[in-house]
Amino acid sequence: MDTIKMDLSDPYYYQQWKKLIENEGLYIENLDDITETIGIYDEDKLIATGSYFNNVLKYLAIDQEYQGGNVFNKLVSYLISNLASQNIFHVFVFTKTQYQSSFEYLGFKMVAKSRFSTLLETGDYSIDQYISELPKVSGNNISAIVMNANPFTLGHRYLVEEAAKQSDMVYVFVVSQNASLFKTSERVELVKAGTKDLKNVVVITGGDYMVSFVTFPSYFIKSRSDVVTYQTELDAQVFKRIAKSLNITKRFVGEEPYSPTTEIYNQSLKKILAPEIVLEVLKRKEIDDDIISATKVRQAIAEADLETIGKYVPKTTFDFIKMNLKDLLRRINNGN
Amino acid sequence: MEIKHTALAGTLESSDVQITLSEGKGISIDLDSQVEKQFGKQIKKVVTDLLAKYDISDVKVHVVDKGALDCTIKARLIAAIQRATDTQNEQNWGVLG
């Protein structure tokens, strides 16, 4: 048996790969979410394949005739070694629930489980370690908000303020995936700067565990709505696990009239978090009958329209944008 | 010796073992093995003895055993240690005794 890297832009490999993937009942979402693909061959026949995107294994499929043997171990082992050679040691996999134990035999541990799928991880980091590193606070009434804040607007500020009024303590988790116009470090700093006066607010990054390419790829890559549903239910389960260990009893989200993906997300959260954690949906803040959104701010940045930006963001964010306008425009032109 | 960064050695194939070393406080060993009941103690002993020979006292060890013999475990662990301590080119023959 030979193991090779498969170039899916080559129709020869793509056809073999597609056939095996589809025979195993997997749905090909989008080739953009694959970093690398490997194939195991028996003579000329492709008998197993697996891919990864960043640190997430995906599209694992083994020909019926070769299942139940050593091929699965060989496949996963090869993918993990490949990632290790790029210094990626913390590896995730999304899988159907019936394959959970196969991965557990290979040292993977469950992060969370929904009715559709299981998320497992292995390597040099874990959700338990992430939880142990989070600042612990005391209080009876602890709440949380998860935001991308790309960038931090008056709408975000309103959400945090309301949560702070209603809670002893508020954790603000900032999405740490670097896939937005504003870099992760900038987004975190702007959230911190914009909430500095609120003494009962703790700002932390969400790591791989909150709305990331791992838990919720379709937040970043357009996907079908059923895919969004299964991803959001899993993301909600991951959040629930973290929230329970921090004694969080409420999560605040903004109402989502425009984005269908976020609307599905809110529905999944409501369903999964109950009964231990209450989902509080707040009406969006309006200015001059106009809902504030980070999308509008980014559009205004693209048009270098400082006046409009000033209407939607707090001074701290405004000053940052003004100072870095050229750089932001350059990022937009480069397709970010 | 000090673990400088995470390193991995070995595979998940039958009769092999995959070992990941990363920075930690004290020695902690996380062992996954289908034969843990019979050989868990022995596998951990092989690991801790060898770590002691390298004078490593702070490390997180993840061992995924697929039925490896002691000599295989040692070989994989030595490779992982050398990678994690950036000493691939400095053979320490003394530890093989």
All structural domains of chain A with their residue ranges: 2-125, 129-333
Residues 33-52 of B with CB under 8 A from A: 34
Number of cross-chain residue pairs from A and B with Cβ atoms under 8 Å apart: 51
pLDDT > 90 fraction of chain A, expressed in percent and rounded: 72
pLDDT surpasses 80 at B74: yes
Which CATH superfamily, name and number, covers A129-333?
HUPs (3.40.50.620)
pLDDT at A32: 81
| Domain topology for A2-125 | Aminopeptidase (3.40.630)
pLDDT > 70 fraction of chain A, expressed in percent and rounded: 98
pLDDT band at B97 (very low <50, low <70, confident <90, very high): low
**Phi and psi (nearest 5°) for B49?**
-60, -45
| Residues in B touching A122 (Cβ below 8 Å) | 62, 64
How far is A112 from A117, CA to CA, in rounded Å? 9
User: Taking CB atoms and an 8 Å limit, are A80 and B18 in contact across chains?
Assistant: yes
Distance in Å from the first CA to the final CA of chain A: 42
pLDDT surpasses 80 at A257: no
User: Taking CB atoms and an 8 Å limit, are B22 and A89 in contact across chains?
Assistant: yes
Continuous segment of H or E residues that includes residue A316: helix A315-323
Q: Give tens-digit pLDDT for A77-102.
A: 999 999 999 999 999 998 888 889 99
Residue B95 placed within a domain: no
- Tell me whether B83 touches chain A (CB under 8 Å): no
| Residues in B touching A87 (Cβ below 8 Å) | 5-6
Residue B29 placed within a domain: yes
For B66, the domain range is 7-88
Interface test mutation site (partner A, options B18, B66, B88, max chain A beta carbons within 10 A)? B18
- Tell me whether B91 touches chain A (CB under 8 Å): no
User: To the nearest whole angstrom, how far is the Cα of B27 from the nearest Cα of chain A?
Assistant: 14
* Identity of the residue in B13, B18, B20 whose CB atom sits nearest the CB atom of A124: B20
Packing angle, helices A225-245 and A260-273, rounded to 10? 40
Interface test mutation site (partner B, options A40, A103, A124, max chain B beta carbons within 10 A)? A124
Interface test mutation site (partner A, options B4, B8, B28, B83, max chain A beta carbons within 10 A)? B8
Residue B63 placed within a domain: yes
pLDDT surpasses 90 at A166: yes
Pick from A98, A118, A78: nearest CA to A24: A98
Q: How many domains does chain B have?
A: 1
Q: Give the sheet arrangement for strand B27-33, strand by strand.
A: B7-10, B17-22, B59-65, B27-33
State the complex-level ipTM: 0.86
Residue B94 placed within a domain: no
User: Taking CB atoms and an 8 Å limit, are A77 and B6 in contact across chains?
Assistant: no
Residue B62 placed within a domain: yes
pLDDT at B38: 94
User: Taking CB atoms and an 8 Å limit, are B66 and A76 in contact across chains?
Assistant: no
pLDDT surpasses 60 at A336: no
Average pLDDT over all residues of chain B: 94
| Residues in A touching B32 (Cβ below 8 Å) | 104-107
CATH of the domain at B47: 3.30.230.10
Instruction: Using alpha carbons only, give the angle A144, A245, A111 rounded to the nearest 5 degrees.
Output: 100
Least confident of A204-208, B35-39, B44-48: A204-208
User: To the nearest whole angstrom, how far is the Cα of B64 from the nearest Cα of chain A?
Assistant: 6
pLDDT surpasses 90 at A170: yes
**What residue in B sits closest to A84 (Cα-Cα)?**
B8
How far is A24 from A59, CA to CA, in rounded Å? 10
pLDDT at A220: 67
* Average pLDDT of the residues in A266-295: 89
